[in-house]
Amino acid sequence: MFRAAPPSRADRLRSAASSITTTLTTPLLPEDFLGLVAPLWSSTSLRGRVLAVRPETDRATTLHIRPGRGWRRHRAGQYVRIGVDVDGVRHWRTYSLTSPEDPTADHFTITVQALADGVVSRHLTQATPVGTIVHLEPAEGDFVLPEPAPDQLLMITAGSGITPVMAMLRTLAARGPLPDVVLVHSAPSTEQTIFRTELTELFSRHPNARLILRRTGVDGRLDLRELDTLCPDWRDRTAFVCGPAGLLDAATERWADLPDQLHLERFTPPARSPGGSGGEICYGGTDTVAVDGDTSLLEAGEAAGVLMPSGCRMGICFGCVLPLRDGQVRDLRTGQVHGEPGDLIQTCISGASGDARLDLPTR
């Protein structure tokens, strides 16, 4: 029979010190105090400190963040969920990491573009001083370059869709000469082109790489049929596309017979299927809200003042899931009505389809 070795003197001292500390700090745990004086050392919640804030355009800002204990290095193209407290309420959003893969780096970067109605994006770009502590979750996402990187790449981006691709380009450039890569990037104007100077310099240094910058305010939106002219061998290339839903839908259509060569990253919620019935939704057993058929359960809950967990708000990160207790919900993307008691529901892409009840996390 296995018998545990008796605790050593050092173990006994550690245990006694721990229980004295716990007694002294009760009802809080020592961890709670550690989180206050050294937030990056918390072992129960991953946090980061803003080291630098650098404007990119008049709407986009890069934040340099040093992550605390528990952070694992990201792969170029992945995203991170960031939690920030705005007016006493914690909001979670998802942003692509823009820094390259670097095993020696002590921080990472995200580049945030302020949206007109974006509570978090405006807070991060306009009201986040150096030293701010943010909450983090580990980097995720499979919009990453294969290893080894393909010899021929085509990257098509628009607006802040450049951000994950920038991390890829920086990673490739740090390894050596860029491969045969064509980047077609669209922005409303020259001034609103995020990373314009860096992109121009980067591509001018690498003769194998070609940069096509498009100002949609002057040149109009990119029509993917133009690829036959802009990049005649596009069918031979591994493609990475990131931008608004219309661009992604067009790419899916264009690569319909070559789906394995296409990698997509969605930055905006998918189109919603209209025509839900709506219903009375009970959040956590107390707050009941009348929700119309076209509004997500996340938006309806937040509008009613319910503290809702959230993240990307577009059906990717699963940061918004809540258990369904009664009723059914409608997938706003497909129109499909589904749900059994106990199912986890992505509230950002689910609408009401009759009355339903959701559990809220205990706080």
Which residue stretch of 29-37, 143-151, 300-308, 318-326 sits at the interface with ligand FES (rule: CB under 6 A)?
318-326
Orientation angle between helical segments 196-205 and 162-175, nearest 10 degrees? 30
312 binds ligand FES (CB under 6 A): yes
Distance CA 324, CA 331 (A): 14
Residue range at the interface with ligand FES (CB under 6 A); choices 66-74, 107-115, 222-230, 313-321: 313-321
Tell me whether residue 182 or residue 320 sits nearer to ligand FES (CB atom): 320
Interaction mask 264-303, ligand FES, x per CB under 6 A: ----------------------------------------
Q: Which stretch binds ligand FES (CB under 6 A): 20-28, 64-72, 110-118, 308-316?
A: 308-316
Nearer to ligand FES, 101 or 265 (CB): 265
Distance in Å, CB of 309 to ligand FES, minimum? 8
CA-CA-CA-CA dihedral for 37, 40, 42, 44, to nearest 10:
140
Q: Which one of 346, 351, 352, 353 is in contact with ligand FES (CB under 6 A)?
A: 346
Which segments of the chain are extended strands (E)? Answer: 47-55, 60-67, 79-86, 89-96, 108-113, 133-136, 152-158, 180-187, 210-215, 238-243, 262-266, 279-283, 287-291, 321-326, 329-331, 337-338, 344-346, 350-352, 356-358
Nearer to ligand FES, 79 or 203 (CB): 79
Q: Does residue 308 touch ligand FES according to CB under 6 A?
A: no
In the Cβ-directed half-sphere of 270, how many Cα atoms lie within 13 Å? Answer: 16
Output 92 or 108, the one with its CB closest to ligand FES. Answer: 92
The runs of H, that is alpha helices, within 26-118 are 30-37
Give the Cα separation of 202 and 288 in Å (integer): 54
H-type alpha helices, 206-268: 216-219, 227-230, 245-254
Minimum separation from the CB atom of position 114 to ligand FES (A):
19
When the beta carbons of 164 and 319 are compared against ligand FES, the nearer one is 319
**Under rule CB under 6 A, residue 77 binds ligand FES:** no
Question: In a 10 Å sphere around its CB, with 0-12 CB exposed, 13-18 middle and 19+ buried, how is residue 351 labelled?
Answer: buried
Residue 350 within binding range of ligand FES, rule CB under 6 A? no
Residues for the chain: how many in total?
363
Q: Which residues bind ligand FES (CB under 6 A)?
A: 310-313, 315-320, 346, 348
